[in-house]
Each structure stands twice: as structure tokens, then as C-alpha cells.
Amino acid sequence: MPRTGGRALTADFVRVVLFAGVVIAHSVSGINTSPDVLRSAQLVGTLLHVTRYGFVAVTLFVLVLSMRGRTMRPVQFWRRRFGLIVAPYLVWTVVYAVSDHLLIADDPFPGVGQFFEDLGWSVVAGTGKYQLYFLLISMQIYLFFPVISWILERTIRHPWLVLAGAAAIQILTFVIYQWLPRPSGSAWDQVYEHAWKTLPMYTLFVAIGGLTALHLDQVQSWLRAHVVSVVSACVLGTAASIAVYLWMTEPGEVPWQATTPWNPSLLLWLVSGVVLLWLAAMGWDALRVGGRKVGARAVSYATIRAFGVFAVHPLILDILNRVGFTPDLYEWFPRSAATRSTVLVIVVLALSLIAVDLLLRTPAAKWLVARDRIPLRRKAALQKKAPMQKKAPMQKKAPMQKKAR
């Protein structure tokens, strides 16, 4: 593969928005359960399923772009990548295994044997907390990336064929989960229960991310040239997905089939949402390159803390619920579900960022937030690292020459 420039900052913008979407999704799902707002709240949560598929696409994009022109044996690649994610995954699984029993009502600690049995299953199945399954998906992406990269290299001249094959697999997995009967038997039942965390459920977005990185200049040039048509198609796709949701639901009554992340009718929005977000990131990057650094510092700040917010925000939600803040929102804003949700999202984001900033300054930063530690006194640390420059020796002045008479 020909090597391109460094990693596109558009990926950072997309990643930050997606992480914010995860916090919004979990905050909304935890607060708006009354019948009068059930339909609209579930619609927001359903549309925010785009975060999981967007994460897969942006992860593949960054991996393919960063590896272009480089040769690395699979073992070398795995050594570099797995360490970044396995340690935080294990640490947060243990944290939530303890905090759930401390913070969630009617969930006392089991016996020692049962506790460790549950912990072991949580590690294997990604059930330590409701967001940790995505780290299992990330591990699969790293595990199979050498194969994915090989396929992309061999089919570099046939991107549409790859995209069509990936879409076929994606639709097949959606149909199996949405419409076909659940398999019988305890063993198959367990496989079915967790198979949605495997890569076949995300194949199309693996292809979208990888192909976009592989053909980045052509893709972005085409998007710029056809931006009106692309946006129009995405709006129509989004409208179609919402229309199907509304057709399947009624005020106060939302069947689970309407909210699943593998509803085939939702696929139109999932692709449209990723494309629209990428177009927004391209527009932001164009402003940045043009000298108008709109939100550049905010994106840089959030990029470093995004994974930490992803990891810690359920703990913040549990604490707020435990201390009574979340129930109190109903008393403070009894008639406005939108206000309750907005306040909760802002508070959760703010407290999560504070928590991550504190964790970034601990020796365990890499294990907790997948980032290098930030020294408490950053300026002093930089001054110590900077080599002391020796003063240049003073040159002796040349003797004064007598003027010729």
C-alpha cells in the first residue's frame, strides 16, 4: 500500500462525538421511562445505536491509515495493540464487579466463590458493565486486522465488490437476529446471547472504515463534489428508518423489535449517520486547515480523555442514582423530560471529565484511561527534561587598531 500522511484529525472529531453519544444514550435510557415520553426517549436511544457501528468504522480507519506503507509481523502488531486495551478492560471489569454491589440497590455481594465465578464470566463475555462489550469487539478487530489488511491489499482495485460482500454479511446477521427464531438448547442459547458482539455483526462498518482509509483522497474528493446529493440521500435514509420506528410503535408502547441495534430498517440510518458525521468532521477540518481553528482545542482536549469518559461514565451514573440526584430531577423538572435528560447529560459529562483528569495524573493512568500519565506539575517536568544549554563562551574583543596617520 502506498503510504499517505499522518492520521487524519477528522477521526479524532468523529471519535469525540461518538463517545459523547454513548454518554447521552446511557443517560437518556436511565431517566426517561415514563409512558408519556417512552416513545421519543426510545427513539433517541435507538438512533444512538450508531455509536457502536461508528466506533468500528473509525477504529478500522485509524488502523489502516496508520499502517499504510509499514510492514509489521502479526505478532508485533498484536503486542503493540493488545496491551493498550486488555489492561483497561480487565481493570474496569473488576471495578464494576465491586461497584455494582456497592452502589446498585438490591444487589448485595454474593459469596466469595460466586463472586469470582461471576467475575470470570464477565471477563469472557464482556458483561462487566453495559459498555465494556465494545472493548471485546476492539480486541477482535486487532486479532483479525492482519487478515483484514491482507484482504484490502488483494482487493484494492475492487472496493465496490468488498463493500457489497460486507453489506450482504451485515444484512444476513441483522435478519438472523431480528426475524429468525431463537435457537433451542442451552449451549446454542448462550452462543446466540453473545454472538452479536462478534465481528460479523459489524462487517459493513469494518469495510467502510478500511476502504475509506485506503482510498481517502478519492473518497473525500467525491464527497465534496457530491455533498448535496449525499446529504439528501442520508436525510432520506434517516427519515425512512424513523418512519419504520414510528410505524412499529405507539405512544407509551414500544416493542423491543423496534429498538434493537440490528433492525434491518435501522441500517439506512446507521450508514447515513456515519456518513453525515464524517462530512461534519471534514467541514471542521477544512476550517482548521484554513486558519479558523473552531473548537480545535476542545477536540484535542476531549480526544485524550474520550476513552476514559467511555470507561468511567456508568460509574458516575450509578453514583448519581445512589445519592438521589437522578430521582430528584423528577421533582425539579416534573413536566420536562428533555430538561431532565439535558441536565443529567451535562452533569455526567462534567463529572466524568473531572474523574478522568484525576486518573490521568495517577501512576495507573495507562491501565485506567489508556493514556500516558500527565505529571501534576507539567511545566516543572518539562523544564527538568529539557537539556541545560551551556552559555557560549564570550569572545575576546579584538584589539583596537590605531588609525593610520
User: What is the band of 392 on the pLDDT scale with cuts at 50, 70, 90?
Assistant: very low
pLDDT more than 70, % of the chain = 90
pLDDT score of 192 more than 90: no
Mean pLDDT of all residues in 82-89: 91
Among 29-43, 191-205, 212-226, 308-322, whose mean pLDDT is lowest?
Answer: 29-43
Predicted confidence band of residue 44 (pLDDT cuts 50, 70, 90): very high
Q: Is the pLDDT of residue 321 over 50?
A: yes
Residue 236 has what pLDDT? 98
Q: Which of 341-345, 356-360, 397-401 has the lowest mean pLDDT?
A: 397-401
Q: Report the pLDDT value the prediction gives residue 382, as an integer from 0 to 100.
A: 52
Please give the pLDDT value at position 379: 55
Q: Across the chain, what does the average pLDDT equal?
A: 88
**Tell me, what's the pLDDT at 295?**
81
Does 41 score more than 50 pLDDT? yes
Higher pLDDT, 323 or 392: 323
Sign of the alpha-carbon torsion through 262, 266, 270, 273: negative
The mean per-residue pLDDT over the stretch 274-294 comes to 88
The more confident residue out of 181 and 167 is 167
pLDDT at 189: 76
pLDDT score of 361: 94
